[in-house]
Amino acid sequence: MCVLAALLGAGLAWHISGYAGDAARPRPAIENEQIYMFLRLNSPEQMAAFYEARGFPREAIERLRQTCFVMAHVENRGQEIVWLELENWRFVATSGEIPRLDRQHWEDVWNEINLPQASRSTFGWTQLPEVRDLQPGEPVGGNMILPATTTAFTLEADFHTGRDKRKGMIRVRFRDLHCAQDKPVP
């Protein structure tokens, strides 16, 4: 059966409202028999605290603070391989696509500030992989990083399925997402 047809049939279950970092509100998530996926949008303060605690130098923290962190968790709940391929994901605002700050971008930044190898390694493992053939039952999680923005955006994530990518497409849409902001200092 065509996965896409089934998912389109699921209708609004796949169109999840976003959140603006308020812990009391549920994180955007989708769950069905094929996939479980949720997002968490972390504030610059939260991400700075994470990397500071792991010894990242001040220059690196300052660069990371100027961005928007979107953490994604994806889990294959079906029996077919699900292909996570970030080239098939798009962050879209009304003004157009928001380009991801990808691994090459960060490699250039780390070279510029001469980031130690250990920090580069840790940073790399905290990013969502560019490509992963998710096996049945396999989870994956990690960050995607965007330039900071105050406008709402949508994440459009498409996943091929099947070993040869011909078992249909899973299309996921997370709408009305907002970069998390630091809490104002009282």
Partner 1 sequence: MKQPLVVLGLSLVLVATLLATEQALPPGIMVLDARPAPELRLEDIDGKAYDLADARGHWVFVHFWATWCGPCRREMPTIERMTSALGDSPLEIIMVNTAETEDEVFTFLAVVAPDAVPLMDTDGLVTERWQPRGLPATFLVDPAGILRYLALGGREWDTAPYLAFLSRLASPEPVQKAVNGAPP
Instruction: Give contact residues for partner 1 (rule: CB under 8 A).
Output: 50, 54-55, 116-122, 124-126, 129, 132, 135, 137-142
The CB-of-9 to partner 1 minimum distance in angstroms stands at 29
State how far the Cα of 88 lies from the Cα of 70, in Å rounded to an integer. 16
- How many residues are listed for the chain in this entry? 186
Does residue 161 contact residue 168 with C-beta atoms inside 8 Å?
yes
DSSP 8-state secondary structure symbol assigned to residue 84: E
DSSP 8-state secondary structure symbol assigned to residue 127: B
Intra-chain end-to-end CA distance of the chain, in Å: 56
Residue 66 or 135: the one with the smaller Cβ distance to partner 1 is 135
Residue 131 or 148: the one with the smaller Cβ distance to partner 1 is 131
The CB-of-75 to partner 1 minimum distance in angstroms stands at 9
Residue 50 or 89: the one with the smaller Cβ distance to partner 1 is 50
The CB-of-116 to partner 1 minimum distance in angstroms stands at 8
